[in-house]
Amino acid sequence: MQISISNQAYQLINHITILMESTQYLDEIYRIKLDKIKTKMNEFVSNYHAHLALSVREFASYLNHDALSPLTIVLGYAELFRSVHAHMLTLDEINLVNQICDALRILIESVRNEYKLMIAKQNELTSI
């Protein structure tokens, strides 16, 4: 599942890059906001890989707190971006923003599922 989460995050970064390159009508402020979203996603990937070496308990704690918070913030930014700029975007760009939001929701759910699985395995081991 760890590879899946990384791959999902990298796909999101690619979508954000494509959106930044294709969106002609945005002012510099919103290009900067998109760049911040992309930076947060890159930070998520780096932190995720850095935390893989932790113990199961520490990694589970990271997933539950430190991994979910930035993803939720990025999703909020993406949804705000969509609602504020939908009238300035082409249909393809709107579809791309929708894909980004959908992919973020799936990534958040993957992180939550990985956390639940780790806790279940840990509880199973301690009950033996």
The per-residue pLDDT for range 14-29, each reduced to its tens digit, is: 888 888 887 766 677 7
Neighbour tally for 55: CB within 10 Å: 8
Has this prediction a pTM greater than 0.85?
A: no
Contact between 115 and 60 (Cβ < 8 Å): yes
In the structure, what pLDDT confidence band is assigned to residue 108 with cuts at 50, 70 and 90? very high
Over the chain, what is the mean pLDDT?
84
Q: Which of 1-10, 46-55, 100-109 bottoms out in mean pLDDT, i.e. has the lowest? A: 1-10
CATH code assigned at 102? 1.20.1440
d(CA 12, CA 126): 37
26 is in which domain, residue-wise? Answer: 2-126
Neighbour tally for 72: CB within 10 Å: 12
Q: How far is CA 125 from CA 27, 63, 119, 120, 121, in A?
A: 54, 19, 10, 9, 6
Place of tokens 């890059």: 17
pLDDT tens digit sequence for 41-87: 889 888 888 888 888 788 888 888 888 888 898 899 889 888 888 88
In the structure, what pLDDT confidence band is assigned to residue 1 with cuts at 50, 70 and 90? very low
pLDDT at 128: 60
Q: Please name which of 80, 68, 56, 61 lies closest in space to residue 105, comparing C-alpha atoms.
A: 68
Tell me how many domains the chain contains. 1
